[in-house]
Structure 1
């Protein structure tokens, strides 16, 4: 175990960063976030994972992928809470479903990275209308790396980058799974 001075030195040497994992629904964003967080744990780095309090689709506290892989997390209501919850001895912070957070999340991610923390953010880059979603565009703009993952279009089999809403609901946010959304490529998304 490292002493606090060693942790500070290690963080200073490595510097903080922001990584984004984005794509449509069913593209493996959460799966990739869990993979990166577990690798950080294997490397004996101290990790903390957060998700929006509103996301209770699979579990109230754990971050859970569509493949049922899970990792413990802390549900939070406002992104500013992260600055209060994250201690200085944390090396890696994971944030799932970032599109559901408020517009302060990019500033929070930036502040954490400036403290020497590696921040890994996963979320939808576009809403069901194909428009940029929540704070994701701003986080992507300030990130050191952006990984765009793709699902498979259920209509034609091509790479899917859109989340097509199957149910008649015009609200920006509708928590759902395969009964509410399906991944589609650009052509099939525009066909409707």
Structure 2
């Protein structure tokens, strides 16, 4: 006895996609959570493809790497439209450092989800000035689920939602680690 007819299965795969967003400040565990979800999809034997911006070479050119040095292989791409060139049997797409992508990323996420693909996106929701970062607000608007993770404020221990820049630079994008940024809560962020 067949539980699903081919038509039902086809419709489910065509319209069963979704967009999940993992966001927060630096050092909050966004990439760690992305890797966890993608590994679970791989354990379930789903076809997974993972992307990151080509400009993110902090730990590895071809892998998504968390601050705890957990990693998963990925494909670095120049722009979000390159993600649409993925294999036809892909079931899950992971995208890290979404804030560095162009403004077409929300449209790309929608196209993938509308094809029945589960899209899991991770990125900073705010830049160092505390302003919405790149395509992240638009992705939040279209996502079926949003997980906001928090770091720990290095000044007071409260939940941190800001990425405080420690070095003097007005550049919107400045790749760095603990020598460049620290997580801070609302109060401690506004003290300096």
Structure 1 length-normalised TM: 0.94
- 1:159 aligns to what? 159
Structure 1 pair 77/182, CA: closer, same or farther in 2 (3 Å)? same
Determine helix, strand or coil for the equivalent of 1:106.
Answer: helix
SS in 2 for 1:45: coil
> Is this contact kept in 2: 1:11–1:91, CA < 8 A?
no
- Aligned match of 2:118: 118
Segments of structure 2 that go 5 or more residues without pairing to the other structure are 1-5
Classify 1:59/1:11 alpha carbon distance in 2 versus 1 (closer, same or farther; 3 Å). farther
Q: Is the 8 A contact 2:25 2:125 kept in 1?
A: yes
Taking the TM superposition and a 5 Å limit, the aligned residue runs for 1:1-192 are: 9=10, 11-12=12-13, 15-84=16-85, 86-192=86-192
Is the partner of 2:176 in helix, strand or coil?
A: coil
| Aligned residue pairs, count | 186
C-alpha contact (below 8 Å) 2:14/2:115 kept by paired residues:
no
Which segments of 5 or more consecutive residues in structure 1 lack a partner in the other structure?
none
Deviation at 1:80, TM superposition (A): 0.6
TM-score, length-normalised on structure 2?
0.94
Q: Deviations over 1:156-175 (max 9, x none)?
A: 00000000000000010000
- Distance in structure 2 (CA, Å) of the matches to 1:125 and 1:145: 14
Distance of 1:118 and 1:10 partners within structure 2:
15
Distance in 1 (CA, whole Å) between partners of 2:129 and 2:148 is 18
Cα contact 2:13–2:117 (8 A) shared by 1: no
Q: Secondary structure at the match of 2:106?
A: helix
> Which portions of structure 1, spanning 4 or more consecutive aligned residues, are displaced by more than 2 angstroms?
8-14
Correspondence for 2:3: none
TM-superposed CA distance for 1:88, in Å, is 2.2
Aligned-pair CA distance for 1:94 = 0.1
Query: Matches of 1:93 and 1:29 in 2, distance apart?
Result: 16
Check whether the contact 2:58–2:176 (CA below 8 A) recurs between aligned residues: yes
Query: Alignment partner of 1:174: what SS?
Result: coil
- Aligned mates of 1:73, 1:181 — CA distance in 2: 25
SS state of the match for residue 20, structure 2?
A: strand
Residues 187, 58 of structure 1: CA spacing in aligned structure 2 closer, same or farther, 3 A cutoff?
A: same
